[in-house]
Amino acid sequence: MTLRKRLYLLYLALLLVIPTGPSAAAQLFWYLKNLDSPFVPTNQATVEAMLRIANVGSSDYLIDLGSGDGRILITAARNYGARGLGVDLDPQLVKESLENARMAGVADRVSFQQRDLFDTKIGKATVVTLYLLPEVNLKLRPRLLAELRPGTRVVSHGFDLGEWQADLRMSVRGSGSEVFFWVVPAPVAGKWNARIITPAGPQVLEIEFTQKFQEIDGSARREGKLVHVRDARLDGDRISFVLIDDVDHLHRQHFEGRVNGKAIEGTVRGGGTAPRTQHSWRASLDATVNRMQD
């Protein structure tokens, strides 16, 4: 049974047991129709596990989508010094959350609003927490990838994000709960023009990455000759990979860098038969090639 059908049956059941006039009935139907996920409280052990796995701290701004009674955000503020915003469609839960925050002494660090989570701007978040139905998670996934900055942490209680495999998955002892954790990856798919800056002059490379969420693979050429890309990894905005010479497979260069939009900057060091020196490297996305591929 779909969520919409479940909510409609709930609406009919409530009409039978609650004396309401036309206006109240219409308001009740609007609320149920727009409800994305029913409120089921997250037990405190799982709340703590979610915040620990995301390494929440005082510099974080946490957005809780479907915040219920506010316990995740309030715990983050009280125990870890975080700030943040919780949104929920239920006005009574929002009112309860505001009172809970006041009682916990964190009302100056957190806010709660009655709002549809799909209408909530999330780009400010460094951490996003979820306890939503699977279909809601999947509907939300494109926004998480498009609007959150690379490196933003996403934690979900109970349900995953489909094909976007979790970076970590853990069971919370004694609670029967599962927690899923992701780091939003930088977009790196495409052809990059790279230069290694050395005292003898720049070494020019062409590197092309393919990407599926945080999983990347690549190919490269140096002066028109094939160079193998191995051990490519993407963690938020941090990228690393190894270039292996096609002739001398022991000649290796280990690259590390940080992605900043259409640029990457970092360091490269030699390994194997390559000189054991360290240099800076930079790369820029080939806008012409990638525009033609769009």
Beta-bridge partner residues of 150: none
* Total residue length of the chain: 294
Domain spanning 44-179, CATH architecture: 3-Layer(aba) Sandwich (3.40)
Q: Is residue 14 scored above 60 in pLDDT?
A: no
Query: Which structure tokens are listed for 289?
Result: 């090639």
247-277 pLDDT per residue, tens: 888 999 999 999 999 999 999 999 999 999 9
Q: For domain 190-293, give its CATH number from 3.90.700.10, 2.60.40.10, 2.40.128.120, 3.40.50.2000.
A: 2.40.128.120
Q: What is the DSSP string of 106-117?
A: -TTTEEEEE--G
State residue 223's pLDDT score.
86
Residue 22 has pLDDT above 50, yes or no: no
Domain boundaries defined on the chain: 3-34, 44-179, 190-293
State how beta strands 61-65 and 190-197 pair.
unpaired
Distance CA 265, CA 117 (A): 35
Q: Quick one: pLDDT at residue 289?
A: 58
Q: Which two tokens stand for residue 258?
A: 């940080």
In this prediction, residues 40-67 reach a mean pLDDT of 97
Query: What's the pTM?
Result: 0.85
Residue-wise pLDDT tens digits, 155-206: 999 999 999 999 999 999 988 999 999 999 999 999 999 999 999 899 999 9
